[in-house]
Structure 1
Amino acid sequence: MVTTVALVLAGGTGTRLYPASRSDRPKQFHAFGGEDSLLARTVARTGFADETYVLTGDDYADQVREHAPSAGVLVEPAAKDTGPALAYAARIIREQVGDCVLLCLPSDHHVSGDFASVAGRACQVAVETEGLVTMGVEPTRPATGYGYIEPGEFAAGVAPVEQFREKPGAATAEAFVAEGFLWNAGIFAWTPDAFLRECEGTPLDPVATAEDPAEGFDRAEAVSVDYAVLERTEDAYVVPADFEWDDLGSWDAFERLLTGDDAENAVLGDALTIDASGNVVAADEKHVSLVGVDDLVVAAYDDRVLVVSKVEAQRVREVVSELRAQSRF
Structure 2
Amino acid sequence: MPDSIVAVVLAGGTGTRLYPASRSDRPKQFLSFGGDQSLLAETVERAGFADEVYVLTRPDLADQVREHAPSAAVLTEPEPKDTGPALAYAAHRVREQVGDCTLVCLPSDHHVEGDFAETMTDAAAVAAETDSLVTVGVEPTRPETGYGYVKPGDERQTDAGRTYYPVEKFTEKPDQGAAMRYRHHGYYWNAGMFAWTPDAFLREAADTELAPLVEAMDDGEPERGFDAVDPVSVDYAVMEATENAALVPATFEWDDLGAWDAIERVLDADEDGNVVLGDALTVDAENTVVATDGHVSVVGVDDLVVASYGDRTLVVPKRQAQRVREVVAELEADDLF
* Alignment correspondent of 2:35: 34
SS at match of 1:89: helix
The separation in 1 between residues aligned to 2:4 and 2:156, in whole angstroms, is 25
Q: Which amino acid aligns with 2:133?
A: L
* Alignment correspondent of 1:248: 257
Q: For 1:267-321, what per-residue CA distance to the aligned partner results, in whole angstroms no more than 9, with x for missing partners?
A: 101111111111111001x211111111000000011000001111001011111
The separation in 2 between residues aligned to 1:189 and 1:78, in whole angstroms, is 23
* Alignment correspondent of 1:222: 231
* Alignment correspondent of 2:154: 153
CA contact (8 A) 1:88 1:217 kept: no
The alpha carbon displacement at 1:206 in A equals 1.1
Q: For 1:240-291, what per-residue CA distance to the aligned partner results, in whole angstroms no more than 9, with x for missing partners?
A: 101010001100000111110011011101111111111111001x211111
Q: Which amino acid aligns with 1:104?
A: C
Aligned pair partner of 1:301 in 299, 306, 309: 309
The alpha carbon displacement at 1:79 in A equals 1.1
* Alignment correspondent of 2:26: 25
SS at match of 1:261: coil
Q: Does 1:167 align with 2:136?
A: no
SS at match of 2:20: coil
In terms of mean alpha carbon deviation, does 267-276 or 182-191 score higher? 267-276
Superposition pairs of residues 186-265 of structure 1, within 5 angstroms = 186-210=192-216, 211=219, 212-265=221-274
SS at match of 1:158: strand
Aligned pair partner of 1:283 in 280, 292, 299: 292
The alpha carbon displacement at 1:213 in A equals 3.0
Q: Does 1:176 align with 2:182?
A: yes
TM-score normalised by the chain length of structure 1: 0.98
* Alignment correspondent of 2:77: 76
The separation in 1 between residues aligned to 2:258 and 2:77, in whole angstroms, is 22
Q: Which runs of 5+ in 1 are unaligned?
A: none
The separation in 1 between residues aligned to 2:86 and 2:288, in whole angstroms, is 36
The separation in 1 between residues aligned to 2:127 and 2:105, in whole angstroms, is 12
Q: Which runs of 5+ in 2 are unaligned?
A: 158-162
Q: Which amino acid aligns with 1:324?
A: E
Q: Which amino acid aligns with 1:323?
A: L
Q: Does 1:136 align with 2:142?
A: no
TM-score normalised by the chain length of structure 2: 0.96
Q: Which amino acid aligns with 2:318?
A: K
Q: Which amino acid aligns with 1:163?
A: K
The separation in 2 between residues aligned to 1:324 and 1:283, in whole angstroms, is 22
* Alignment correspondent of 1:14: 15
Q: Which amino acid aligns with 2:80?
A: A
CA contact (8 A) 1:11 1:79 kept: yes
The alpha carbon displacement at 1:217 in A equals 2.0
Q: Does 1:61 align with 2:62?
A: yes
The alpha carbon displacement at 1:155 in A equals 2.8
Q: Does 1:45 align with 2:54?
A: no
The alpha carbon displacement at 1:89 in A equals 0.9
The separation in 1 between residues aligned to 2:24 and 2:68, in whole angstroms, is 17
The separation in 2 between residues aligned to 1:217 and 1:323, in whole angstroms, is 26
Question: How many percent identity over aligned positions?
Answer: 66
Q: For 1:1-35, what per-residue CA distance to the aligned partner results, in whole angstroms no more than 9, with x for missing partners?
A: 52110000000011000000001110000012211
Number of residue equivalences: 328
CA contact (8 A) 1:149 1:184 kept: yes
The separation in 1 between residues aligned to 2:71 and 2:54, in whole angstroms, is 9
SS at match of 1:112: strand
* Alignment correspondent of 2:327: 319
CA contact (8 A) 1:265 1:280 kept: yes
CA contact (8 A) 1:198 1:229 kept: yes
Q: Which amino acid aligns with 1:100?
A: C
SS at match of 2:280: strand
CA contact (8 A) 2:78 2:222 kept: no
SS at match of 1:245: strand
The separation in 1 between residues aligned to 2:201 and 2:130, in whole angstroms, is 12
CA contact (8 A) 1:88 1:214 kept: no
Q: For 1:13-62, what per-residue CA distance to the aligned partner results, in whole angstroms no more than 9, with x for missing partners?
A: 11000000001110000012211100000000010111100000011000
The separation in 2 between residues aligned to 1:168 and 1:90, in whole angstroms, is 30
Displacement over 6 Å in runs of 4+? none
